[in-house]
């Protein structure tokens, strides 16, 4: 297949591009800036915020893997990149007659606040409200996902939404589930016994390619998490020695943190008219999204994609810390598509 | 028309960052009914409309003007689009509030103003910082004679426009304001000019040095140092994208004392006779220290309560809507806009002749 990968220069994008090439796909990697020389796949410089060059970039493409999204910036910067960028991409797909998209969403679209502690978060979990008090990333990912589904249904495209958990890998071991950074050398850790829905980047990249290759994934929304999900305390202890200087971990109990957030919310609502800006970890809906003890499953992805995470936690951490990653892996044949082979 | 009960049908074009401030006012004001929000992006228009309870979202402003029939339109798009949008809104019979600058040149501003006059509509440029509480305090100090006769005015802004990740430093999709006559600084000089001119008589001479600290081809200018001579009053307008920390300082010096504020960290420092006596250094410093302590606490409270430097925008809009409902002159008059637009043209013309 000929694939256009948006967000190809991002953390996950680099692994998706490499894995796609390794599986024998023809890859066109969309990046914002000129790539480093020596890259073996075709690259096209695109900024999805502009429609310039988009239709041309989609010429001859069989499917789009849409990874591009903003992770930082204020709401309007993220709307421009994540939402307007997706609108432009979908319009260009229509014009270029590209009829297949695999969109990479996020666990952030769920509303963990509505879920009882220790319940199972699967694809049927309640969704967050974009008009609620979740952060900019959640708001824009919710809109982005809706746009992809609406355009796909309207145009009769093949589509799949993948929602990875917390991606980790080389240079990306810390994440919001571990807690909050306090300065340069301390982590505030809460929810010690909560499982972290980790997804090792190489495992996730493989799931994405399988979603492109397998027609069984069409019209499906799939959560992507690994098999061995560590508890937060365990994961923090495993990764802390890999940081230099080693961070000091300040534990705060989940009950205490939840109570503090509830109090802050009540004070803001009843005494300050809801106008105060308080840190995200003291906003109940955001705190629950980050630290609530829940259970996770990848059963649906396993069943639909025939996927199983290739690397367990210890091996993934080893690969994250060594010069062994997807570029050094053996070639893999693409999975057979329904009704034929790729 | 009963001025106290008049409600204007309001609409906005452009749903970027500044629109949030306008829409927050429009969704709460008893003077306005938000009948439409327009943006080129359907999803962004829909999001803004839902968030601020607008009656409808549009992606085509001509359709919005025809369907929603607004009495007033807020134009909140990039400056280069203003002339066409202002013109179309005026021709549709709507008053217009437009983000600065109304138009890239004074000539284009005058064309739009004349059109507004011919249509009997109001055209008002957003001079929001003029209505920030510290600026109003300094105006009062000037008007009640506390500072004596004004002799010097300085407006200084420092912002790291070249900071990586910033909207103006984006090389992959350059900001549209780079194409304005003074580049991205054109977006800021309107603020600097209207604040300076508030305290100055008719301008006689201007000298300006526009420069660029880096020859990367993206920025026309990233630094401005301008002198304005207006009778006995000397003015200085200064913009730097290299000096830190961020500041937006207005200082007015008179024959009896001076006052200064930083709109990014609001306080008003006044050095003038207290209690009818001339200043004595140590006592003044102690009194100032006490006032600065209070300003520090206020600054902390403002940060928590999300009171930003845009606080004056609400006052500006309230007064503008009140004036429109009563049929009075808006708080930003033709003379205000005309002087600012002329001064910017003069500064651009005087580029590097200092």
Q: What is the pLDDT of residues A7-43, one digit of tens each?
A: 999 999 999 999 999 999 999 999 988 776 556 789 9
pLDDT of residue B3: 62
In tens, the pLDDT along A43-93 reads 999 999 999 999 999 999 999 999 999 998 899 999 999 999 999 999 999
**Superfamily of segment(s) B130-311+343-349:** Dihydrodipicolinate Reductase; domain 2 (3.30.360.10)
Question: Given CB atoms, is B165 within the 8 Å cutoff of chain A?
Answer: yes
Which residue would you say has higher pLDDT here, A321 or A342? A321
Give the C-alpha distances (Å, rounded to integers) separating A204 from A32, A39, A43, A103, A199. 23, 22, 22, 13, 6
Q: Chain A, 114-143: which have a CB under 8 Å from a chain B CB?
A: 130-131, 139, 143
Peptide linkage before B245 cis (omega within 30 of 0): yes
Is the confidence at residue B127, as pLDDT, over 70? yes
Question: Quick one: pLDDT at residue A321?
Answer: 81
Please judge whether B43 and A84 are an interchain contact, meaning their C-beta atoms are less than 8 angstroms apart. Answer: yes
CB-count exposure of residue A184 (10 Å: 0-12, 13-18, 19+): exposed
Q: Within an 8 Å CB–CB cutoff, is residue B301 touching chain A?
A: no
Chain B CB within 8 Å of residue A272 CB: yes
Check pLDDT > 80 for residue A322: no
Rounded-to-integer distance, Cα B263 and Cα B268, Å: 9
Percent of the residues in chain B that have a pLDDT greater than 70, as a whole number: 96
Residue A10 in any domain: the answer is: yes
Residue B255 C-alpha, separation from nearest chain A C-alpha, in angstroms: 42
Provide the shortest C-alpha distance from residue B62 to chain A (in Å): 21
Query: CA of A133 to nearest chain B CA: how many angstroms apart?
Result: 12
Contacts of A143 in chain B (CB under 8 A): 43, 47
Alpha carbon distance A340, B102 (integer Å): 61
Assess if residue A41 is contained within a domain. Answer: yes
* B-interface mutation test, from A7, A77, A91, A139, most B Cβ less than 10 A away: A77
- The chain-wide mean pLDDT, for chain A, equals 91
- To the nearest whole number, what is the mean pLDDT of chain B? 92
CATH architecture of B8-125: 3-Layer(aba) Sandwich (3.40)
| Closest residue by Cα to residue B315 from B29, B16, B27, B20 | B29
With CB atoms and an 8 Å threshold, state whether A33 touches B172: yes
Confidence grade of residue B1 (pLDDT, cut at 50, 70, 90): low
Pairing of strands B95-98, B123-125: parallel
Cα–Cα distance measured from residue A146 to residue B343, given in angstroms and rounded to the nearest whole number: 48
Determine contact, residues A306/A277, Cβ cutoff 8 Å.
Answer: no
Q: How far is CA B332 from CA B95, B122, B252, in A?
A: 14, 11, 21
DSSP sequence for B101-130? PSSSSHHHHHHHHHHHHHTT--EEE--GGG
Q: Chain A partners of B173 at a C-beta cutoff of 8 Å?
A: 47, 49-50
- In this predicted structure, the answer to whether residue B288 has a pLDDT above a threshold of 70 is yes
pLDDT at residue B88 in the model: 98
Three-state SS for A308? coil
Angstrom CA distances, A178 to A108, A175, A238, B58, stand at: 15, 6, 11, 42
In a domain, A265, yes or no: no
Contacts of A276 in chain B (CB under 8 A): 304-306
**Which of B12, B37, B40, B41 to mutate: most A Cβ within 10 Å?**
B41
Q: pLDDT at position B5, please?
A: 79
Domain count, chain A: 1
CB-based contact, A31 to chain B, within 8 Å: no
Q: Residue B268 pLDDT > 70, yes or no?
A: yes
Mean of the pLDDT values across residues B333-340? 97
Q: Which tokens hold the place of B153?
A: 């005015």
Specify the pLDDT at position A339. 37
Q: What is the pLDDT of residue A336?
A: 53
Q: What was the pLDDT predicted at B252?
A: 98
Determine, for residues B42 and A87 on separate chains, whether the beta-carbon distance falls below 8 Å: yes
Query: Which A residues, 82 through 121, put their C-beta within 8 Å of a C-beta on chain B?
Result: 83-84, 87
The reply to whether residue A73 touches residue B165, judged by beta carbons under 8 angstroms, is yes
A99 vs A193: which has the higher pLDDT = A99
- Check which CATH number belongs to the domain holding A17 and give it: 3.40.50.720
Inter-chain CB proximity A77 and B167 less than 8 Å:
yes
Q: What is the pLDDT of residue B352?
A: 52
Q: At B286, is the pLDDT very low, low, confident or very high (cuts 50, 70, 90)?
A: confident
Residue B275: pLDDT band by 50, 70, 90 thresholds?
low
Residue B176 has pLDDT above 60, yes or no: yes
The torsion angles phi and psi of B236, rounded to 5 degrees, stand at -130, 130
Chain B residues lying within 8 Å of A275, measured CB to CB? 305-306
Binary contact (A76, B17; C-beta < 8 A): yes
Q: Do A87 and B51 touch (CB under 8 A)?
A: no
Is residue A335 very low, low, confident or very high in pLDDT (cuts 50, 70, 90)?
low
Range of the domain at A89: 2-171+196-228+295-328
Least confident segment among A79-83, A328-332, B72-76, B257-261: A328-332
Judged by average pLDDT, the poorest of A123-132, A313-322, B148-157, B322-331 is A313-322
* A-B contacts (CB, under 8 Å): 47
Return the pLDDT at A116: 96
How far apart CA B284 and CA A275 sit, in angstroms, is 36
Domain-by-domain residue ranges, chain B?
8-125, 130-311+343-349
B48, closest residue in chain A (CA to CA): A131
Residue B354: pLDDT band (50, 70, 90) is very low
Cβ–Cβ under 8 Å, residues A213 and A314 = no
């Amino acid at each position: 297949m000929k694939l256009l990968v948006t967000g190809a220069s991002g953390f996950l994008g680099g692994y998706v591009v490499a894995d796609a090439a390794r599986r024998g796909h023809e890859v066109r990697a969309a990046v914002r800036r000129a790539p480093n020389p020596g890259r073996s796949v075709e690259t096209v410089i695109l900024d999805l915020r502009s429609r310039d060059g988009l239709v041309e970039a989609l010429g001859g493409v069989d499917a789009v893997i849409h990874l591009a999204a903003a992770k930082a910036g204020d709401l309007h910067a993220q709307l421009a990149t994540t939402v307007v960028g997706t609108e432009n991409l979908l319009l260009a797909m229509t014009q270029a007659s590209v009829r297949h998209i695999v969109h990479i969403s996020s666990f952030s679209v769920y509303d963990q606040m509505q879920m009882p502690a220790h319940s199972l978060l699967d694809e049927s979990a309640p969704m967050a409200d974009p008009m609620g008090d979740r952060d900019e990333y959640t708001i824009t990912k919710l809109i982005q996902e809706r746009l992809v589904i609406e355009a796909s249904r309207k145009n009769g495209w093949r589509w799949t939404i993948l929602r990875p958990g917390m991606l980790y890998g080389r240079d990306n071991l810390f994440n919001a589930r571990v807690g909050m950074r306090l300065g340069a050398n301390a982590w505030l850790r809460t929810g010690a016994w909560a499982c972290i829905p980790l997804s090792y980047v190489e495992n996730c990249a493989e799931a994405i390619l399988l979603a492109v290759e397998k027609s069984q994934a069409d019209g499906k929304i799939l959560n992507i998490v690994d098999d061995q999900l560590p508890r937060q305390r365990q994961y923090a202890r495993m990764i802390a020695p890999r940081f230099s200087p080693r961070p000091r971990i300040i534990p705060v109990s989940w009950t205490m943190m939840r109570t503090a957030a509830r109090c802050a919310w009540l004070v803001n609502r009843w005494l300050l008219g809801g106008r105060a800006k308080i840190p995200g970890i003291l906003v109940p809906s955001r705190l629950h999204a980050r630290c609530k003890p829940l259970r996770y499953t990848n059963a649906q992805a396993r069943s639909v994609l025939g996927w199983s995470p290739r690397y367990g936690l210890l091996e993934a951490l080893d690969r994250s810390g060594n010069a062994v990653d997807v570029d050094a892996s053996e070639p893999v044949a693409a999975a057979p598509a329904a009704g034929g082979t790729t | 028309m009963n001025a106290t009960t008049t409600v204007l049908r309001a609409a906005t074009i452009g749903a970027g960052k500044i629109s949030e401030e306008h829409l927050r006012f429009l969704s709460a004001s008893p003077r306005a009914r938000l009948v439409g929000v327009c943006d080129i992006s359907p999803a962004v228009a829909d999001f803004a409309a839902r968030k601020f309870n607008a009656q409808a979202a549009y992606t085509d402003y001509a359709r919005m003007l025809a369907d929603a029939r607004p009495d007033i339109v807020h134009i909140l798009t990039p400056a280069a689009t203003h002339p066409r949008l202002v013109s179309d809104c005026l021709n549709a019979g709507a008053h217009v509030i437009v983000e600065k600058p109304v138009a890239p040149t004074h000539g284009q501003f005058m064309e739009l103003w004349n059109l507004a006059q011919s249509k009997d509509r109001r055209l008002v440029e957003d001079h929001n910082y003029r209505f920030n509480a510290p600026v109003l305090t300094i105006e009062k100090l000037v008007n009640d004679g506390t500072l004596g006769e004004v002799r010097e005015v300085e407006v200084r802004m420092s912002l790291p426009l070249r900071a990586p990740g910033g909207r103006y430093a984006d090389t992959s999709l350059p900001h549209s304001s780079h194409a304005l006559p003074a580049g991205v600084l054109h977006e800021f000089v309107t603020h600097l000019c209207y604040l300076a001119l508030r305290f100055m008589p008719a301008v006689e001479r201007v000298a300006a040095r526009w420069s660029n600290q880096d020859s990367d081809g993206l920025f026309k200018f990233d630094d401005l140092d301008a002198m304005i001579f207006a009778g006995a009053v000397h003015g200085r307008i200064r913009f730097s994208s290299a000096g830190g920390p961020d500041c937006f300082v207005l200082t007015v010096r008179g024959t009896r004392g001076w006052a200064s504020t930083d709109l990014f960290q609001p306080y008003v420092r006044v050095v003038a006779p207290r209690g009818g006596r001339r200043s004595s250094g140590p006592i003044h410093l102690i009194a100032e220290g006490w006032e600065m302590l209070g300003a520090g606490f206020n600054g902390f409270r403002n940060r928590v309560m999300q009171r930003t430097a845009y606080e004056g925008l609400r006052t500006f809009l309230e007064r503008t809507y009140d004036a429109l409902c009563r049929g009075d002159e808006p708080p930003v008059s033709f003379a205000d806009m005309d002087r600012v637009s002329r001064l910017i043209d003069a500064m651009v013309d005087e580029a590097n002749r200092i």
